[in-house]
Amino acid sequence: MKLKIAIQKSGRLYDDSVKLLKECGIDFNNSMNKLRTEASNFPLEILYLRDDDIPQYVADKVAATGIVGENVIAEKKKKVKVVQQLGFGKCRLSIAVPKDKTYAGARGLNGMRIATSYANILSAYLKKNKIKAEIHEISGSVEIAPGIGLADAICDLVSSGSTLFSNGLKEAATVMESQAALIANPRLNRQEQEILTKLIFRMKAVRKAKKNKYILLNAPDKNLNKILTLIPGMKSPTILPLAEKGWCSVHSVIMEEEFWDVIEKLKDYGAQGILVVPIEKMVI
């Protein structure tokens, strides 16, 4: 029995999806012209598909699970379960207007024509905000719609904002935040569920490791307690005496996002020889 997982065949999610599976210790051949491949050391079969098709394939159980953007999951409205956010493919679905137009809040969109490939999400947003606007659904190059007179505003994915900028548009409101997620068919058999549970366990360990760093430092005994409160670690820090009297070595784990703050304070408390190293997997 193998679990089938659908990932994007090519595009923005392809590299990170393959990387994540490989970081989970799963070996497979990912030459670009393949449509499917089997892992050699884990009961997984990988199907390469267009991202838009992944929710449908998972809902129909052609693939038991898949990796796809939350924007696509929300737009397609298929019967799939989001089991895990994956932290890559981050972007937002935003409304943008020509940069010389003043944006008078969501209400200001009343009566406008908005071009988008995300008609379902946009229509729910307009309804929620009691806006009466016309949705003009197009499948690509949405950002040129205002320039060619097709629409007054657009609703499209934004990451750096440079596409909007180079098309003379500015971001006016965020409709949804998105990142890649692991989805699954809600009715997996017992064996599929067991393999999926193992896969999720590995993905969590990889994600957790990325968010944390291993830290080693030398601490003066007199400030040890203060230093320990800054780096409490997973259970508690390891403390080893140094050959030099009055000093010890402390090993612990810190969150990536707290990193610079913590380092500054550690230095203030006299910590020396601070080493920070990446963690590959982390299981608590």
Name the site residues for ligand PRT (rule: CB under 6 A).
Answer: 8, 11-13, 50-52, 69, 71-72, 89, 91, 156-163, 178
The count of residues in the chain is 284
* Structure-block tokens of residue 217: 């430092």
Q: Which is nearer to ligand PRT, 136 or 213 (CB)?
A: 136
| Residue written as token pair 């024509």 | 113
The residue nearest ligand PRT at its CB is 69
Would you list the DSSP string of 109-175? GTT-EEEES-HHHHHHHHHHTT---EEEE-SS-GGGTTTTTS-SEEEEEESSSHHHHHTTEEEEEEE
The packing angle between helices 14-23 and 190-211, to 10°, is: 100
User: Rule CB under 5 A: which residues touch Zn ion?
Assistant: 51-52
Q: Which is nearer to Zn ion, 181 or 227 (CB)?
A: 181
CB of 52 to Zn ion, least distance (A): 4
Residue 154 to residue 112: CA distance in whole angstroms:
10
Q: Which does 75 bind (CB under 5 to 8 A by kind): Zn ion, ligand PRT, none?
A: none
Q: Which does 69 bind (CB under 5 to 8 A by kind): ligand PRT, Zn ion, none?
A: ligand PRT
CB of 114 to Zn ion, least distance (A): 20
- Residue 11 backbone dihedrals phi, psi, to 5 degrees: 130, -165
The residue nearest Zn ion at its CB is 52
Q: Which is nearer to Zn ion, 69 or 237 (CB)?
A: 69
* Structure-block tokens of residue 140: 């690509």
CB of 34 to ligand PRT, least distance (A): 15
Q: Which does 108 bind (CB under 5 to 8 A by kind): Zn ion, ligand PRT, none?
A: none
